């Protein structure tokens, strides 16, 4: 069996480092907002190229607290993509604002910047571009549009830590860059965890208040916040993993290259739409996703051959039951809908072997033969 991701093998490879980090926290007796969190915040900010890092409880909280820190709330509109995990839009709704969906392009499955301008109204306050699968959005155009219409940018980098657009890493372009450290991510905790990076001292201050019940001094509360603190154990684990992230991303890129090269050698370009490396950017392949018109049959076939796959995502947000109140209907976002019917993720993780990649390609090839 070839899993989509092998976290057990990853742990075994760095077991000594992880175990020592966990033990050090247990020995300290200090578990909330301690030195590991402070160091990890600084290390991530430095890695991204931002001034401040604020650890929070999850990637979802990173997005929601960023919106709150930027003053976005009831009656506002925020533009994002319907082809993403629901958290991206969910946080907008939770604040009483309205998610406004803009279709994706089929080159990289990210928000179509050519259509972005048509979605802006007097109520629009922000854009949340999602860097899906580790691929970069067109941040030049998004930044130009945001400047022209005075809009905030919250980058959803949940799947793209370490990806680069131009000379900068993703998360450094927006007012806030939001990361998820869910266990399956390229940089994954052993539970939920998240981070916001920003260059604004004011935004950073507000985020620290919001994550800790609106308090900067114990039992003194200047605003209404919540409990969204990154804990010491997760921070200690993530600090160990961050040291390996660049190498892990390089390995993902190399194996993605093997997949693409091998599929082309098998003459499968007419059967599969392969992922594309956008010029001037660095795709870090959180997922290696292909499109197939026979996606469902292919998925079933690969399962019989011991190859695990996944579908990210099977239904656009505009067609989800939770968003029927927005009045969208099938056909409103044709590119997103096409992607949901054809996309499939193949196994890809740094601990794979070249032979495993070859086996997956062989299985896909035999399906089409």
The per-residue pLDDT for 334 is 98
Single out the residue of 24, 7, 4, 347 nearest to residue 189, CA to CA. Answer: 7
Domains in the chain, ordered, with CATH? 7-102+111-239 (3.40.640.10), 245-368 (3.90.1150.10)
pTM given for the model: 0.98
Q: Which helix (H) or strand (E) holds 29?
A: none
What's the Cα-to-Cα distance from 304 to each of 125, 263, 271, 309, 367, rounded to whole Å?
48, 20, 20, 11, 11
Compute the distance between CA of residue 269 and CA of residue 361 in angstroms, rounded to an integer: 12
pLDDT in tens, the chain (369 residues): 999 999 999 999 999 999 999 999 999 999 999 999 999 999 999 999 999 999 999 999 999 999 999 999 999 999 999 999 999 999 999 999 999 999 999 999 999 999 999 999 999 999 999 999 999 999 999 999 999 999 999 999 999 999 999 999 999 999 999 999 999 999 999 999 999 999 999 999 999 999 999 999 999 999 999 999 999 999 999 999 999 999 999 999 999 999 999 999 999 999 999 999 888 999 999 999 999 999 999 999 999 999 999 999 999 999 999 999 999 999 999 999 999 999 999 999 999 999 999 999 999 999 998
Beta strand pairing call for 152-156 and 176-180: parallel
């Amino acid at each position: 069996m070839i899993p989509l991701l092998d976290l057990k093998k990853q742990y075994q490879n760095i077991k000594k480092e992880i175990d020592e980090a966990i033990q050090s926290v247990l020995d300290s007796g200090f578990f909330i907002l301690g030195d590991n969190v402070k160091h990890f915040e600084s290390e991530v900010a430095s890695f991204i190229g931002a001034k401040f890092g604020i650890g929070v409880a999850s990637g979802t909280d990173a997005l929601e607290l960023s919106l709150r820190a930027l003053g976005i709330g009831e009656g506002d509109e925020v533009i994002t993509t319907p082809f993403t995990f629901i958290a991206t839009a969910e946080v907008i709704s939770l604040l009483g604002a309205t998610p406004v969906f803009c279709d994706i392009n089929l080159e990289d499955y990210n928000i179509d910047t050519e259509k972005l301008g048509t979605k802006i109204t007097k109520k629009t306050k922000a854009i949340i571009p999602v860097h899906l699968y580790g691929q970069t959005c067109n941040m030049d155009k998004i930044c130009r549009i945001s400047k022209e219409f005075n809009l905030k940018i919250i980058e959803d980098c949940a799947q793209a830590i370490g990806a680069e657009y131009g000379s900068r890493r993703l998360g450094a372009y927006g007012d806030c860059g939001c990361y998820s450290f869910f266990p399956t991510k390229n940089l994954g905790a052993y539970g939920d965890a998240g981070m916001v990076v920003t260059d604004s001292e004011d935004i950073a201050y507000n985020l620290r208040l919001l994550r800790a019940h609106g308090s900067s001094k114990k039992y003194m509360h200047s605003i209404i916040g919540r409990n969204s603190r990154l804990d010491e154990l997760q921070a200690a684990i993530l600090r160990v993993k961050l040291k390996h992230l660049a190498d892990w991303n390089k390995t993902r890129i190399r194996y993605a290259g093997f997949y693409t090269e091998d599929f082309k050698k098998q003459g499968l370009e007419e059967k599969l739409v392969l992922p594309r490396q956008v010029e001037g950017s660095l795709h870090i392949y959180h997922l290696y996703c292909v499109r197939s018109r026979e996606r469902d049959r292919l998925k079933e076939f690969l399962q019989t051959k011991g190859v695990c796959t996944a579908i990210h995502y099977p239904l656009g947000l505009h067609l989800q039951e939770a968003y029927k109140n927005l009045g969208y209907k099938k056909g409103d976002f044709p590119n997103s809908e096409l992607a949901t019917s054809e996309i499939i993720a193949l196994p890809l993780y740094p601990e794979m072997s070249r032979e495993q990649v070859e086996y997956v390609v062989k299985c896909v090839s035999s399906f089409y033969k």
